[in-house]
Structures are given as C-alpha cells and as structure tokens.
Amino acid sequence: MLCSADSQSSSRWQRRKEARPEEILDAALRLFTEKGFSATRMMDVAKAAGISKGTLYLYFSNKEAIFKEVVQQRITPQIDKVESLVNEFEGNQADLLKHLINGWWMGVACSSLSAIPKIITAESGNFPELAEYFTINVVTRSRQLFSKVIRRGMETGEFKEYDAQTVARLVVAPLVQATIWMHSLKPYDDEEGTQNYLQLHTEFILNALRKNSYKPKMNTTNIKLEFPE
C-alpha cells in the first residue's frame, strides 16, 4: 500500500492576511520536499507562497521556525488525538494496534508529511537542534503511544511478553523506512510487491505478539481515527 504526497500549485501574490501562515507552511513543506531543507532559501519560500520576503519575515524568523510550526500545526494535533484515543480505549489491544499502524500510515505516508522522515534523516547532522526538536516532539511521543498499547496488551494477557519499547521500535521502523524509500529510491525501483507492504507488516507484528490462548472480548469500543489526506 503506497502513497505519495499531493502536489500543489504555486500561490498568487495577492492573498488574504489570515490565510498566509497556512500558505507559507504549505509552500515551505513542498520546497523542503523537492529541494531539501538546506537548499531551500527563505526567498524561495516567499515566492512559492506568493508574498514578499519582507512579509515572510513578519511571520517567521528563519527556516527552522517554519519547520517547527509545521510540526506544531500539522503533526502535534494528530498525536494529541491519538493519545486521547489510546488513554480512553478499553477494547482489544490488537485491534487498537492495527488501527494505530494504519493511522500512522494514512496520517504520514499518505499526506504531504511523508517527506519529513527523509528531511530529518538527511539534515540531522547539519541541523542537530532541529533533529532534537523533532525527536522529542514527534518520534518519542509516537513511540510511547505504540509502546503503551503493546505493554497494555501484555498486561491483559493478550500479547506475549517482550520488551514493549523494543517492539514499538520494530513496529515503527519499517513504516519510516517505507516513507524514506518513497522519497528516494522509489523512482528507480520497479518492484510491484510493495503494494502489500503495510498489510503484511501489520500481520507479521500481530502474529508475533498474539497469544494463541487469548480470547478477545466480544464487545469492544469502536475505534475512530481521522487523519487528513
């Protein structure tokens, strides 16, 4: 199951003031994806957003500030929603874990955010403060959510006993690798079997975790995750 970020056309010069921050974020993320974070200049972002460079600096002082705002506006609210879901959920943990994996994929790989893992991986040495910020606010929080579900499944007897943090890494790593591949080697790789990637990954994880003797509850809480396209 593969996705690619939607492309968007360049903005016009005349824009409503209240719409400018969102348009700046859209333009910047698109440029970070196409050109790379280091190669993108503030002038490039202003032009793509349809504003002057001086106007851009009224909203953001530098590229790092723009990237952090992308995280705060596009990623943090989604993590907040998933945290609430995980904290309130009382049903089958295998079902919840499956929905979290699919939700991560739809929220990241199938959106304009899909390039961010590659951007951070490529630029972590050049922008360590930005890499640390992303790790604390996105990577660690996301991994803790998966770990919490896995640990809870072990405590209820649904899952086999493993180190939950390590299993969480095993769950997330192939998803991150797939998004990096989408923005690096995909154009040169004609392998068709990757269409089943997400499904097989989820099945392998759940088959490895589930206890054969476990009997799931008949009535489980409905799981509802909504992510932007």
For the stretch 91-103, pLDDT in tens is 999 999 999 999 9
Q: What is the pLDDT of residue 228?
A: 44
For residue 112, being part of any structural domain is answered with yes
For the chain, give the percent of residues with pLDDT over 70: 82
Digit-coded pLDDT (tens) for 123-181: 999 999 999 999 999 999 999 999 999 999 999 999 999 999 999 999 999 999 999 99
Single pTM value for the model: 0.83
What is the CATH classification number for the domain harbouring 197?
Answer: 1.10.357
**Six-digit token string for 193:** 């079997």
74 located within any domain: yes
What confidence tens digit (pLDDT) does each residue in 68-97 have? Answer: 999 999 999 999 999 999 999 999 999 999
- Residue 224 in domain: no
Q: Does 159 reside within a domain?
A: yes
Residue tagged 């899952």 (tokens): 159
Domain range for 109 is 64-209
Compute the distance between CA of residue 95 and CA of residue 74 in angstroms, rounded to an integer.
25
Let me know if residue 31 belongs to a domain: no
| β-bridge partners, 159 | 210
Report whether 143 contacts 165 (CB < 8 A): yes
Residue 79 lies in a domain: yes
Q: What is the pLDDT of residues 33-53, one digit of tens each?
A: 999 999 999 999 999 999 999
Domain-embedded: residue 102: yes
Looking at residue 3, its pLDDT comes to: 62
User: What residue spans of 71-219 are helical by DSSP H?
Assistant: 76-88, 93-104, 116-123, 128-134, 140-155, 164-182, 197-209
Burial (Cβ within 10 Å: 0-12, 13-18, ≥19) of residue 167: buried
Q: How many domains does the chain have?
A: 1
Q: Residue 35 falls within a domain, yes or no?
A: no
